[in-house]
Amino acid sequence: MDEVVLRTLTPTVIGILVRRGADFAAAENAVQDALVEAVRVWRADPPRDPQGWLITVAWRKFLDATRTDTSRRRREALVEVEPAPGPAPSVDDTLQLYFLCAHPSLAPASAVALTLRAVGGLTTRQIAQAYLVPEATMAQRITRAKRTISKVRLDQPGDVATVLRVLYLVFNEGYSGDVDLAAEAIRLTRQLAAEVRHEEVAGLLALMLLHHARRLARTAADGSLVPLAEQDRSLWDTRLIAEGIDVLQAALARDRLGEFQAQAAIAALHADARTAEETDWVQIVEWYDELVRLTDSPVARLNRAVAVGEADGPRAGLAALAEIDPALPRYAAVGAYLHERDGDPVTAARLYADAARSASSLAERDHLTRQAARLNAQKCR
């Protein structure tokens, strides 16, 4: 039994149940119940038509739930007769489900959870494990999200930018539990790209592929972080890099630049360099200029300061850094790196230690602490 096939079919089956009269929450619950049954019975008796099987079983689950809910008796006239077997409608509601699950009324965490469940086909347990929270907590989050969007019609237009941000949040969670969220985000973004011709969807897909290609090189055997300049580039996945660049070039050819395309272009320049020394930092600065123009993002300005330091020297990088709010996360880490490049290990060591105290992850904290310790040890020699 292929779990990816099950997950791919999920949004289509939910959309069909909604068109037959189920509300979104009831349809999603019924499909989840059908997926659980599929896991139980398909291994021994796989169906010839997996989608048809899921539609039939999910519809029966919905009917059973409706008939036992006395508060919904008024709907029994609508759902009493099960539709005759036959081909499913050709209308694909997958795209609308993306929009619905990333509705602006939902908090980002809720939108992510609902997208993974309704569009991704993951179970509540899998999502909870991936986000390292109790299953009951995740169940409550998903229930509240479904309640929030219960009055939103499936055929209302959605915001692609909101969907992309939700998918990027999923991608950046990486791997935890038994679900690889980075791979899941790529799968969902591929699916979205097949549904809609949009430059920024392609840009996000390219960005994910290019970042994912470096995954094996990002950590050492002991789990410590390996900076980009020190990574073993033979571990980079050249197939993913080639695909990401092809997707990006096709998007850029449409001449409607967006922030994800600009980020992907920066990632492509890193991926294209055979060694860290061959990186085209001048072009990277130019792409960061475009990204700042598009977003005015403080994070983009911070990363641009690093690129300026590489292209024009650490003094130029420090000058660019001085124009940014020092309260920004990673500000101290960038300052430490540029001061070390500028020959000031005392200031660099102090800033690395400051950055370690505010690091967002244990791996990042350990890396920054080691950098501070390395420079302090040099002073003692």
Alpha-helical (H) ranges within 132-273 are: 135-148, 160-173, 181-195, 199-212, 238-252, 259-272
Position 184 scores a pLDDT of 86
Quickly state the pLDDT bin for 334 (edges 50, 70, 90): very high
Quickly state the pLDDT bin for 177 (edges 50, 70, 90): low
Position 81 scores a pLDDT of 43
φ and ψ at residue 350, rounded to 5 degrees: -65, -40
- For 180, the enclosing helix (H) or strand (E) is strand 179-180
- Min mean pLDDT across 89-98, 163-172, 241-250 is at 89-98
Rounded Cα–Cα distance for residues 274 and 363 (Å): 26
CA distances from 116 to 222, 334, 357 (A): 30, 34, 33
Quickly state the pLDDT bin for 20 (edges 50, 70, 90): confident
pLDDT exceeds cutoff 70 at 198: yes
Which two structure tokens, joined as six digits, stand for 205? 């897909």
Type of residue at 266: I
The pTM of the whole model exceeds 0.75: yes
Position 65 scores a pLDDT of 84
Measure the CA angle with vertex 326, ends 321 and 329; round to 5°.
100
Position 174 scores a pLDDT of 66
In the numeric block, the tokens 């993306």 are attached to 98
Rounded Cα–Cα distance for residues 140 and 114 (Å): 11
pLDDT exceeds cutoff 70 at 79: no
- Min mean pLDDT across 53-67, 91-105, 343-357, 366-380 is at 91-105
Position 8 scores a pLDDT of 81
- Min mean pLDDT across 56-60, 103-107, 247-251 is at 103-107
- Min mean pLDDT across 20-34, 90-104, 228-242, 364-378 is at 90-104
Rounded Cα–Cα distance for residues 166 and 233 (Å): 30
Rounded Cα–Cα distance for residues 270 and 81 (Å): 59
For residue range 147-176, what is the model confidence (pLDDT) as tens digits?
A: 888 777 665 656 888 899 989 988 987 655
3-state secondary structure of 176: strand
Measure the CA angle with vertex 70, ends 145 and 13; round to 5°.
45
pLDDT exceeds cutoff 70 at 84: no
Q: Which of 254, 266, 269 is nearest to 290 (CA)?
A: 266
3-state secondary structure of 302: helix
Rounded Cα–Cα distance for residues 105 and 100 (Å): 10
160-194 b/e (C-beta count within 10 Å ≥ 16 → b):
bebbbbbbbbbbebeeeeebbbbbbbbebbbbbbe
pLDDT exceeds cutoff 50 at 138: yes
Rounded Cα–Cα distance for residues 127 and 293 (Å): 36
- Those residues whose C-beta lies under 8 Å from the C-beta of residue 113, and which sit 6 or more positions away, are 127, 131, 138, 141, 142, 145
